[in-house]
Structure 1
Amino acid sequence: MTTFEPPYTVPAEGFEKKSGETAIMRHFKFADKLLSRPDNLSTLWDLYVTGNKLGGDNPFLGTRRIENGEAKEYVWQTHEEVRARVENFGKGMMKLGLTRQQVLGIYSVNRPEWTIAEQASYRQAFILVALYDTLGAEAIEYIVNQTDMEYIVASADKLKNITQLKDRLPTIKHVIIMDNNVDSIEKEHAEQVGLLVHTFDQVEAIGSEIDEESALPSADDIATICYTSGTTGVPKGAVLTQANCVAAIHGVAAVGEIGTFAQVTSSDCYISFLPLSHVFEKVAIGLHIFRGASIGYYQGDTTKLLDDIAELKPTVFCAVPRLFNRIYDKVLSGVKAKGGLSSYLFFKAFNAKKANLNKTVHHRLWDRLVFSQIRSKLGGRIRFILSGSAPISPDVMDFMRICFSAQVYEGYGQTENFCGGCMTLTDDNTSGVVGIPFPCSEIKLVDVADMEYLTSDQPNPRGEICIRGHSVMHEYYKAPDKTAETLDADGWLHTGDIGVLDQAGRLIIIDRLKNIFKLSQGEYVAPEKIEGVYQKHELVSQAFIYGNSLQSSLVAVVVPDKDNFDRWAKDRADGQDIYRSDAVKAELLKTLVEFGKQNDLKGFEQMRAIHLSSEEFSIENDLLTPTFKLKREAAYKTYSKEIDDMYSALSNGRNFN
């Protein structure tokens, strides 16, 4: 077991601490200088070539063979075979007219052609821009037109969508279909609207006939523009250079080498199913490519993911809390359903391992006797697990460590810094923390006075998390006003997250600036907007909407309008206190949800449970600021029991409290 002593973050030397800020903090093993790149490797293509040499004739990219509609074994292409395809595809695209620092779109779920096109883009210094369905047609239109996109690599099922949008996408000229079989009618329709349709193989064949080599990419070339849907308005494109991306990938590799994170080697196998349009998966894939490891792709259907994992038997598993929560619920419900001796043994083993979790995730007896079947659900070979995208419940973290006998890490980052934020440490099983800075990044906290988060707070400083370093984007594409809101003159990325540094120097996320938070399924919620809708209803005086990244739904504390509510509730209370009556709360919840629909609240913006309070929020009871704004942290503390009860009731199938 590796043992590191706190503090895990240390002040960077040579910087004067500013008033209203913490010192600039760095990883305790990389305090002297921020890492930027490995020696003599400055581009993503350099990382690829390094991994290609390590991998050699070993399996690299794998997909499942399909026979009569049934998925069979994984079929592999070697590192050397893929290298030829990457180089041929890049040359073929240049022959079609795509030039350096011109945009290449990719529109598909994860598959080998995605990775081949991506690495070809890095080699030829194309600018990669991913499109994905959850953005919606309007966002796709915006991205394509903003980047003047002329070329899209897409799976066959996306051709119809591109064709239908063509009148709104005037710049698109070429569509390269990843599949060899293109529906003749769909191809004809595409050509009728002015699209030139090619297959992936055709482009590779064109490139294979070209001998001359083009100039290599540079560190300052733009590698990708990653669009984030954000919370309101049009998507923003984070401009990330090859150097930005190399810094984050090298940072993960470096902490693996020194032992504060798991080390990936050429013998590892990774399951790729998280969207490659997002930076979390890009960094994970990039690390495994750099280390010469193998990558197996899921079938494209998340309902078949566990079957793919069982067949692939990966050694590394990266996922988001929502999936871990599903595994957690499924395993525990199965254990409880069995009951008897089986259930008794499971909980005896679970509690024995949990009591010793601060020392090890392994147990010689229980791992073999009780947890081997659970471990087999992820293939049985998992060495470590990484959770990202949203906070994960401490209970679920402990569950994964115990049941899969693996290190479980949690990462924190944004599109804007190519995931290069923070990561937890090896053998530190402390719950609720997101770890310490990447070696390529430094962090500081800055006062948020109007929310009463101060770096002078005791016992630990609190404030907005700011990140600076080699992985931070240069700008939002063609959006200088948005860039200025996010990046300051000194290069600090203002994340909008509120954090606290604990005694060991680990970062904990506690709130969100501007009161915007993410639910467990990834949806962003602006509670003030929702409260504004509900408070327009005649039965509502005040409302406090609550949710967090560990929950999939919202709950509410409502202060009814006394006069209107008393009259409305009297006949519905069945003789009970109108503020305690289940019938009243159920009817009011139904009424307000319908009102929310009429006012265009989305499903995830609607409250799912309600608590009624007869006491108004006021300055006197410390729930309102002097300017009559709701003090959210104070409101949460006041109603924490009621909030916990509501979520407990929801989990038991009730929808009111």
Structure 2
Amino acid sequence: MGDFVTTTVIGAVKAIVYLYDFVSLPVYFLLQHPWTKWKKQTVWAKFEKEADPSSSIVRNSTENKSLLANISTVDELFQFAVQRYSTAKGFGVREVFGEEEEKQKDGKIFKKLILGDYTWYTYNDIDKMVENFSKGLLTLGLESRQNAVILAETRLEWFVAAQACFRIAVPVVTLYATLGEEGIVHAINETGASLLITSQELIPKIQKAFSQLLSIKKVIFMEGHRKPRLEAFPESVQPLSFSEVKSMGENSEKALNYDTPAPEDVAIIMYTSGSTGTPKGVMISHKNIITTCNGFMKLTEDMRPDDLYIAYLPLAHVLEIAAESFFLAVGVPLGYSSPLTMTDKSTAVKKGCKGDATILKPTLMSAVPLILDRIQKAITEAVQKEGKLSEAFFEFALEYKHCWKTRGFQTPIMNWLLFKKIKNMVGGRLRAIASGGAPLSSGTQEFIRTCLDVYLIQGYGLTETTAAATIMDLQDMSSGRVGAPVSDCFIQLKDWEEGGYSINDKPHPRGEIFVGGGSVTLGYYRNEELTKEAFFEKDGIRWFCTGDIGEMYPDGTIKIIDRKKDFVKLQFGEYISLGKVESELKRHPLVDNICVYGDSFKSYVVALVVPNQRQLHHLARSLGIEDISFEDMCMNKAIVAEVLKSLAEEGKKAKLQKMEIPQKIKLCFEQWSPDSGLVTATYKLRRKAVQDYYRDELADLYS
């Protein structure tokens, strides 16, 4: 009966909407000028040698890069921004007055922050902080070209500390705040740093590792709202607060000697998150960062005077540091946030308190696919809670808006009725999101574009290419692609015979992506063998072999279709891209994370699935299974069978081949967090670690 009512009501709504469309279309046509948005046949890039797929793919037009024409180091870029935007609002930080514990319905205790308003600093204000902090570092005995480590969450002090190091030619070793103890010890010992800059919240984590740290003599901590516990530091280590070091610099009267950086000097030794083993330190030069900023200058054509960027991704990730450097250069204010406080519903936001996005009202943000997948799931879950009628109406509204949007029309009434509430989750003004770090599925891209009414563009780059390789134009409405090469960047496709990819494939050339140009980094720190394996020079251009498989479309844009390390060959010779399958199945509301595995002596793949607890409880109730723990649900045969069936349907919807859809699954009740060692600090799978941890379970799935 319920389904009948839902179908009848939605049918009536559709009839009314279609009648309204028929009557109002001429008015919308005249008011909205959709023809100005209709996609012209644009070719964004082409082969350098016409019709030669072995040559480089380059952008058709060269952008005006005069803004940074005379800049060659990151410190020069910062000082250029200070001179250009001196008294303008540049950097926002939210006040934290304290925290309190809040008990949840399930008995868990969450720590909630008591938050105030944003305090804003001008470019001149931050320049003074950078100058004082750099003098403080020199007063402490740090010398130019001595490595200094930053291990902290994204915040203004991280930015200030890094700029201070750049100013005095000190390479910054960046570590994720979520990196495990083993990775922290490896990176610090490998770089031989004597100075560690961290946050007050991470002091306990650092203190646990001190017995293994061989070189650290001083620790500078960024203050928080709690009183720091410093008694556990060994006598050989001097702890100082961030404010103390700034004061030392401000009060320093003697002349301090230091070198200024050169373009080829190392600015950052960025430790990758280690998806394939021990984290590697990528040496990024000042020239690399400036080249990337120049490559992004094409985006300035779409900038507006009231733009504001919300900065929350880890600054230890190349995407965030490249984005903040670029927005610094073009004068877009940065408002600092975190995933724990971004929205009103974020886990660290006290009930009744506003999230950062609600206060900031940003227009621009960067994201990784994991965050966008979570936003999609959160919206879907919220709609499902409202009942089947609301869910059916939402699905119709989503399809309706997408249909008109692709034809160049806005849907103001539907936006007012439904989508405005969703857009307000991120402040209400957001108009552009740049996604990077991993391929974003077409489904998620279209969903977010439609729900949030934003431009959602994908970019492609790696730590080894300073985040630069390709980026979509805002006018490019395709999905599942990563755009055309950025300026000063070359892309080549190379045959990969084992995977069956060739630059002569029809209708689109395919192959391993090689990236060349000024953004390609210097190599891996103290790892000459791996550097020679992945980097090479040819005709004066430095190249990096990415291991990613790309496909070039006639308009010059690239689609990432596979990765060499994610390939497995099954019993009868079929190649399966594990990453591709995971990307599609991860969109299912039941899936928080998934690792697909293939045994080369078998004819099918299996999967380890971390289910979403709320969705699994909902599924269990629908099967008449009540009052059992999450762990018991994961081992319940009826629930496992239903999840497997649901994933198979999702795979068919995503047009996966039968051999790509897992035939058996295990539901994992353990959480895959960076601390567990099963995912990286950016939540990418550490495939080998997962397979080793679940070795017996995988054997059981194939038994």
TM-score, L = length of structure 2: 0.71
> 2: CA distance between counterparts of 1:510 and 1:493?
18
Asked whether 1:59 is paired with 2:83, we answer: no
Residues 645, 451 of structure 1: alpha-carbon distance in 2 compared, 3 angstrom cutoff: closer
Aligned counterpart in structure 1 of residue 216 of structure 2, from 167, 172, 197: 172
* Mapping 1:407-486, distance limit 5 Å: 407-486=455-534
Residue of structure 2 equivalent to 1:329: 377
Aligned counterpart in structure 2 of residue 209 of structure 1, from 251, 256, 261: 251
Residues 543, 22 of structure 1: alpha-carbon distance in 2 compared, 3 angstrom cutoff: closer
Aligned counterpart in structure 2 of residue 143 of structure 1, from 183, 187, 192: 187
Residue of structure 1 equivalent to 2:58: 26
Residues 456, 364 of structure 1: alpha-carbon distance in 2 compared, 3 angstrom cutoff: same
Residues 486, 441 of structure 1: alpha-carbon distance in 2 compared, 3 angstrom cutoff: same
Task: Answer with 201-210 or 361-370: which moved more.
Answer: 361-370
Please state whether the residue corresponding to 1:371 is helix, strand or coil.
Answer: helix
> 2: CA distance between counterparts of 1:361 and 1:151?
56
Residues 193-227 of structure 1 show CA distances to partners (whole Å, capped at 9, x for unaligned) of x1011111111111113465755322122110111
> 2: CA distance between counterparts of 1:361 and 1:102?
56
Please state whether the residue corresponding to 1:159 is helix, strand or coil.
Answer: helix
Shift of 1:422: 0.9
Residue of structure 1 equivalent to 2:595: 554
Whether contact under 8 Å (1:174, 1:197) holds in the other structure is yes
> 1: CA distance between counterparts of 2:405 and 2:146?
51
Q: CA RMSD in A?
A: 3.7
Please state whether the residue corresponding to 1:548 is helix, strand or coil.
Answer: helix
Shift of 1:67: 3.5
Shift of 1:451: 1.8
Residues 236, 309 of structure 1: alpha-carbon distance in 2 compared, 3 angstrom cutoff: same
> 1: CA distance between counterparts of 2:143 and 2:365?
36
> 1: CA distance between counterparts of 2:655 and 2:325?
46
Whether contact under 8 Å (1:357, 1:429) holds in the other structure is no
> 1: CA distance between counterparts of 2:491 and 2:602?
45
Residue of structure 2 equivalent to 1:565: none
Whether contact under 8 Å (2:165, 2:171) holds in the other structure is yes
Amino acid at match of 2:337: Y
Please state whether the residue corresponding to 1:256 is helix, strand or coil.
Answer: helix
Amino acid at match of 1:502: Y
TM-score, L = length of structure 1: 0.76
Please state whether the residue corresponding to 2:405 is helix, strand or coil.
Answer: coil
Residues 359, 386 of structure 1: alpha-carbon distance in 2 compared, 3 angstrom cutoff: farther
> 1: CA distance between counterparts of 2:232 and 2:449?
52
Residues 54, 544 of structure 1: alpha-carbon distance in 2 compared, 3 angstrom cutoff: closer
Amino acid at match of 1:512: R
Task: Note the residue ranges of structure 2 that are not aligned, 5 or more in a row.
Answer: 1-35, 100-113, 342-346, 587-592, 604-630, 636-642, 647-653, 668-697
* Mapping 1:58-457, distance limit 5 Å: 58-69=88-99, 70-179=114-223, 186-192=229-235, 194-210=236-252, 212=255, 214-252=258-296, 254-257=297-300, 259=301, 262-263=302-303, 267-299=306-338, 301=340, 303-304=347-348, 307-339=355-387, 346-360=394-408, 362-457=410-505
Residues 421, 361 of structure 1: alpha-carbon distance in 2 compared, 3 angstrom cutoff: farther
> 1: CA distance between counterparts of 2:502 and 2:562?
13
Whether contact under 8 Å (2:644, 2:665) holds in the other structure is no
Whether contact under 8 Å (1:54, 1:291) holds in the other structure is no
Whether contact under 8 Å (1:558, 1:610) holds in the other structure is no
Q: Would you say how many aligned residue pairs link Structure 1 and Structure 2?
A: 554
Residues 268-325 of structure 1 show CA distances to partners (whole Å, capped at 9, x for unaligned) of 2222221111101111111221122222222563634882212221111211112212
Please state whether the residue corresponding to 2:223 is helix, strand or coil.
Answer: coil
Residues 328, 143 of structure 1: alpha-carbon distance in 2 compared, 3 angstrom cutoff: same
Please state whether the residue corresponding to 2:402 is helix, strand or coil.
Answer: helix
Please state whether the residue corresponding to 2:282 is helix, strand or coil.
Answer: strand
> 2: CA distance between counterparts of 1:157 and 1:74?
21
Whether contact under 8 Å (1:107, 1:130) holds in the other structure is yes
Whether contact under 8 Å (1:7, 1:28) holds in the other structure is yes
Residues 292, 37 of structure 1: alpha-carbon distance in 2 compared, 3 angstrom cutoff: closer
* Mapping 1:629-648, distance limit 5 Å: 640-641=657-658, 643=660
Task: Note the residue ranges of structure 1 that are not aligned, 5 or more in a row.
Answer: 517-526, 536-541, 563-589, 595-607, 612-636
Residue of structure 1 equivalent to 2:77: 47
Shift of 1:348: 4.3
Whether contact under 8 Å (1:191, 1:197) holds in the other structure is no
Aligned counterpart in structure 2 of residue 6 of structure 1, from 21, 42, 48: 42
> 2: CA distance between counterparts of 1:405 and 1:512?
31
> 2: CA distance between counterparts of 1:363 and 1:648?
42
Residues 365, 138 of structure 1: alpha-carbon distance in 2 compared, 3 angstrom cutoff: same
Residues 339, 649 of structure 1: alpha-carbon distance in 2 compared, 3 angstrom cutoff: farther
Residues 101, 429 of structure 1: alpha-carbon distance in 2 compared, 3 angstrom cutoff: same
Residue of structure 1 equivalent to 2:628: none
> 2: CA distance between counterparts of 1:554 and 1:356?
37
Task: Answer with 374-383 or 425-434: which moved more.
Answer: 425-434
Amino acid at match of 2:55: A
Q: Identical aligned pairs, as a percentage?
A: 29
Residues 406, 30 of structure 1: alpha-carbon distance in 2 compared, 3 angstrom cutoff: same
